[in-house]
Each structure stands twice: as structure tokens, then as C-alpha cells.
Amino acid sequence: MSATTKYTEGLDMNQFKVISEISHYNNNYHIGFGRELLFAKSDDDNTTEWWLIMGHESIYLGESYISDGDKLIRYTNQTS
């Protein structure tokens, strides 16, 4: 089972705690499942892009929108 399979379409991304010590402005780190590290890059409007950080690799998970309750929309064709 891939680490990304836990991050399913429609997942509520608000459930993940922000790590305030290393986050700033629109670049936030979160504690994911099992203490995995998530990176969220937001714009000043509505969109947040999500990555799963695994060692030196970042895996693009998709986007969420404030207007849709920050539910994950999975995309698999983006690279870090």
C-alpha cells in the first residue's frame, strides 16, 4: 500500500494540525497520518496545493478549496 493512498479524494484537510514553528504565511506544514509531514501552499484567495513529504521526496497529492470546505481533490500528474 502506497503512503499516498490514505489521502483520498474528498478527505477533509482541516483535520491535520498545523506545525506553527516551521510554518509561515501561505506555506504551512501539517502533521498527516501517522506523523507524516504534509506541506500546504495556499494562495491569497481560495486554493491550497498539498504535498506529502517523504525524506527528500515530495509527492503531489492535489488541491483543496476553502469554498468547498478544504476537501482534497486528488491530482497525480503534478511533480514537485
Please give the pLDDT value at position 61: 97
Please give the pLDDT value at position 78: 55
Block means of pLDDT (10 residues each) for the chain, 80 residues, are 88 98 97 97 96 96 96 75
User: Residue 80 and residue 68: Cα distance in Å, rounded?
Assistant: 24
Strands (E), 1-80: 17-18, 27-31, 37-42, 47-54, 57-65, 73-74
Please give the pLDDT value at position 77: 57
Q: Where are the domains of the chain?
A: 3-74
User: Residue 2 and residue 19: Cα distance in Å, rounded?
Assistant: 24
Please give the pLDDT value at position 42: 97
Please give the pLDDT value at position 3: 84
